[in-house]
Amino acid sequence: MNPRDPFLNLYSHGFARVAVAVPVCRVADPAFNAAETVRLHREAARQGAVLVAFPELGLSAYSCEDLFHQRALLEGCERALAEVIEASRGVGAVAVVGLPLQVDGALYNVAAVVLDGRLLGVVPKSYLPNYAEFYEARQFSPGGQALATEVTLCGQTVPFGAQLLFAAQTGQMHAPLTFAVEICEDVWVPIPPSSFAALAGATVLVNLSASNVTVGKADYRHALVSQQSARCLAAYLYSSAGPGESTTDLAWDGQALICENGTLLAESERFRADAQLVCADVDLEKLARERMRQTSFAASVARHRGELAAWRTVRFALRRPDEEVLPLRRVFDRFPYVPSNPQLLDARCEEIYQIQVSALVKRLQSSGLKKLVIGVSGGLDSTHALLVCARTMDRLGLPRANILAYTMPGFATSLRTLDQAMRLMEVIGCGGGMIDIRPSCEQMLKDLGHPYASGQPVYDITFENVQAGERTSHLFRLANHQDALVVGTGDLSELALGWCTYGVGDHMSHYNVNASVPKTLIQHLVRWVAARGEFGEACSRALIDVVETEISPELVPGDASGQPQQSSEASVGPYELQDFHLYHTLRSGFAPSKVAFLALHTWGDAAAGRWPEGVTARNAYPLAEIRRHLRTFLWRFFKTSQFKRSCVPNSPKVGSGGSLSPRGDWRAPSDAEATVWLGDLEQVPER
């Protein structure tokens, strides 16, 4: 790969690097505070950021109290702002700085937006706290009282008001940057100005805050900022006053936060004695797509169109950082479907099982049946489904013998998987047993006139599907005979890739508990049950053996030692990578070029021999491999597999990553083309 290929620049894929600064300040020393602001502004730009937010009243310090009414301080703050504006020439990043400003005889707590020697606009604080330790109404007027819509400051006449949007005009950034500013208390009120700003089009919300620290307040800020970013489907930058503010009556912790749609991306270290600059890469494209996907957001815009008419847009030219290569700093989960927080691990895994179990309980109750039929292969999917069945029977107070589990060896069943199936069925206490399907398959092949019936070793798709079909036929007829319900075992990954035989057990059933659970999550869940030991030590050992078995359909006879000749991942690609592709395609609607960029960032690095933390050369994927496997995914997902998904049985949706049920997250024509997705993939360098 060309090391200067723009493909490696985060701005080519809808991201923008933003920053929040916590400078060291001096109370009532605007010149010192301006110098610190300039230094951190330049550092943010050097790191590739295009937007940096500073604390509330940062040029004066927040804790000046009645000094705000002193002419010397106000004039000093205006000179300090002029220094910041002049120093911003050629920096290339927008700075949002706080200061006191007199307008038409009233004093306002404002945010000044600065870029490349220009003042773009000034935003006053709307809500002034005047309770407990706060006395802002003593010094300032609320922004809503201002009559002026423009202000002349530092020799420039610019828009003034709380209802301003700042929209970047650039052909180089893949997704547009539009931001709005509010100040501290504004986000603590029932309907913050940023809520309307988001409806008016802002995808990035900036809060210049001071916010003194008290016990427990940091956790509340986390919740407040996270929730506001989630409700607004936006990124939220929150600054806070830090070292140097007066401790006459208050203390300060310098907590700065960057959240995106409810997720904390970056945070400062609280109580630091030195200045800090916190950067994060926000996904502007994803935010825009979330707003498009959640149609209630557009409905809210329509409902409030009267209030939104007052918002004005300040447009400005912004060039992205010159570096052609600007890698992401943001960390993405390699296994996006798998619970990644160890502290939440038990709760999340238990919740997943509870969702599946409660769904199966309801289906049994509504059907009036008390027995389940399931095919157990000794592989991952049927093992996980069997565990769900066992928990279901326990929940209903029915004997596990009501689980009629059948393992049905065929021409290619390995001794290992057969042994694992038998062990699992025994330790769980299932009814059922083993049915050898080879005689009925031989009869079918004979009836078809297949070469295998006359002794020729022809292992074609017909040979494979005769075995799969016979298993399914047995399961449905056993269910008829035993007055039971057939439980499906096929997973989300197989449905996405079309790696299932039409109309058979991994595709068709009376009810499928696994249809929205991907392969990587099933591996994780089975390991989790084994570690808990809830079904006993013998079961845990069998479960670990299942997880460590190579994934294979076992439909073609293996080698002389009995090892399977087929590997699912050799045909459809590694599930760990294909599940990554699936998540970002299905959940976020990203173009293949962006999916490849994220995969390269997560599973491999552009610098040869250097991998992300936790990835080794053994399980890393160079760009050429990512591109090859993504092509397989796109072709199978968009072109060849939808007809199978259009008629899948009922199944509960488990995670927010999506399902492929035609009654749920995914509705698509069965005869669409994959041309546009494969065409976009051509933008990805071959190596």
What pLDDT is recorded for position 171? 63
Report the C-alpha gap between 137 and 129 in whole angstroms: 7
Task: Please return the burial class of 380, using the count of CB atoms within 10 Å of its CB with bins 0-12, 13-18 and 19+.
Answer: buried
DSSP per-residue codes, 128-196: ---STT--HHHH---GGG---SEEEETTEEEEBSSSEEEEEE-SSSSS--EEEEEEGGGGGSSS-HHHH
| Confidence band, pLDDT 50/70/90 cuts, at residue 562 | low
């200045």: which residue's tokens? 275
- Catalytic, 185? Answer no
Report the C-alpha gap between 108 and 117 in whole angstroms: 23
pLDDT(610) > 60: no
Which residue numbers belong to the known binding site for ATP?
Answer: 375-382, 489
Length of the chain equals 687
- Comparing CA positions, the residue from 416, 414, 418 lying closest to residue 434 is 418
| Confidence band, pLDDT 50/70/90 cuts, at residue 323 | low
| Mean pLDDT score across all residues of the chain | 93
What pLDDT is recorded for position 321? 73
Helices 575-586 & 519-532, crossing angle to 10 degrees?
120
Rounded mean pLDDT, 70-82: 98
Write out pLDDT tens, residues 249-259.
999 999 999 99
Catalytic member of 36, 83, 125, 232 = 125
pLDDT(483) > 80: yes
Which residue numbers belong to the known binding site for deamido-NAD(+)?
Answer: 465, 494, 499-502, 644
Q: Which residue has the higher pLDDT, 566 or 71?
A: 71
- Comparing CA positions, the residue from 102, 91, 87, 69 lying closest to residue 33 is 87
Write out pLDDT tens, residues 522-538.
999 999 999 999 999 99
Report the C-alpha gap between 43 and 410 in whole angstroms: 66
| Confidence band, pLDDT 50/70/90 cuts, at residue 327 | confident
Which residue numbers belong to the known binding site?
Answer: 131, 211, 217, 375-382, 465, 489, 494, 499-502, 644
Candidate from 55-64, 400-409, 464-473, 597-606 with smallest mean pLDDT: 597-606
User: Do 505 and 511 form a contact (C-beta atoms < 8 A)?
Assistant: no
Report the C-alpha gap between 682 and 245 in whole angstroms: 54
- What is the DSSP secondary structure assignment for residue 544, as one 8-state letter? H
Residue 472 vs residues 34, 52, 496, 549: alpha-carbon distances, Å: 74, 60, 21, 23
- Catalytic, 56? Answer yes
What pLDDT is recorded for position 565? 77
pLDDT(605) > 90: no
User: Do 290 and 283 form a contact (C-beta atoms < 8 A)?
Assistant: no
Report the C-alpha gap between 237 and 166 in whole angstroms: 15
- Comparing CA positions, the residue from 365, 337, 383 lying closest to residue 575 is 337
Q: What helix, strand, coil percent values describe the chain, rounded to 5?
A: 45, 15, 40
- 540: which residues sit within 8 A by CB, 6+ positions away? 529, 530, 531, 533
Report the C-alpha gap between 650 and 551 in whole angstroms: 25
User: Do 511 and 650 form a contact (C-beta atoms < 8 A)?
Assistant: yes
CATH 3.40.50.620 fits 342-681, yes or no: yes
Report the C-alpha gap between 395 and 550 in whole angstroms: 32
φ/ψ (deg, to 5) at 292: -70, -40
Report the C-alpha gap between 512 and 47 in whole angstroms: 49
Q: Where are the domains of the chain?
A: 7-317, 342-681
Instruction: Specify the amino acid at residue 650.
Output: N
Beta strands in 318-458 (DSSP E): 372-375, 403-407, 431-434
Task: Please return the burial class of 166, using the count of CB atoms within 10 Å of its CB with bins 0-12, 13-18 and 19+.
Answer: buried
| Confidence band, pLDDT 50/70/90 cuts, at residue 618 | low
- Comparing CA positions, the residue from 350, 337, 534, 328 lying closest to residue 427 is 534
What pLDDT is recorded for position 38? 98
What pLDDT is recorded for position 561? 67
Catalytic member of 25, 64, 77, 184 = 184
3-state secondary structure of 107: strand
Report the C-alpha gap between 149 and 122 in whole angstroms: 10
What pLDDT is recorded for position 533? 95
Opening angle at CA 548, ends 547 and 550, nearest 5: 100
User: Do 18 and 59 form a contact (C-beta atoms < 8 A)?
Assistant: no
pLDDT(3) > 60: no
Catalytic member of 36, 56, 136, 185 = 56
Report the C-alpha gap between 183 and 57 in whole angstroms: 10
3-state secondary structure of 576: helix
Write out pLDDT tens, residues 153-199.
999 999 999 999 999 987 656 678 999 999 999 999 999 999 999 99
What pLDDT is recorded for position 606? 43
Helices (H) and strands (E) in the chain, counts: 22, 20
Report the C-alpha gap between 414 and 619 in whole angstroms: 26
What pLDDT is recorded for position 559? 73
Report the C-alpha gap between 631 and 560 in whole angstroms: 34
User: Do 8 and 606 form a contact (C-beta atoms < 8 A)?
Assistant: yes
What pLDDT is recorded for position 616? 52
- Tally the C-alpha atoms within 13 A of residue 14's C-alpha that lie toward its C-beta: 17
- Catalytic, 125? Answer yes
Opening angle at CA 336, ends 333 and 341, nearest 5: 65
Domain topology for 7-317? Nitrilase/N-carbamoyl-D-aminoacid amidohydrolase (3.60.110)
Write out pLDDT tens, residues 621-643.
999 999 999 999 999 999 999 99
Task: Please return the burial class of 106, using the count of CB atoms within 10 Å of its CB with bins 0-12, 13-18 and 19+.
Answer: middle
φ/ψ (deg, to 5) at 198: -65, -45
φ/ψ (deg, to 5) at 132: 50, -120
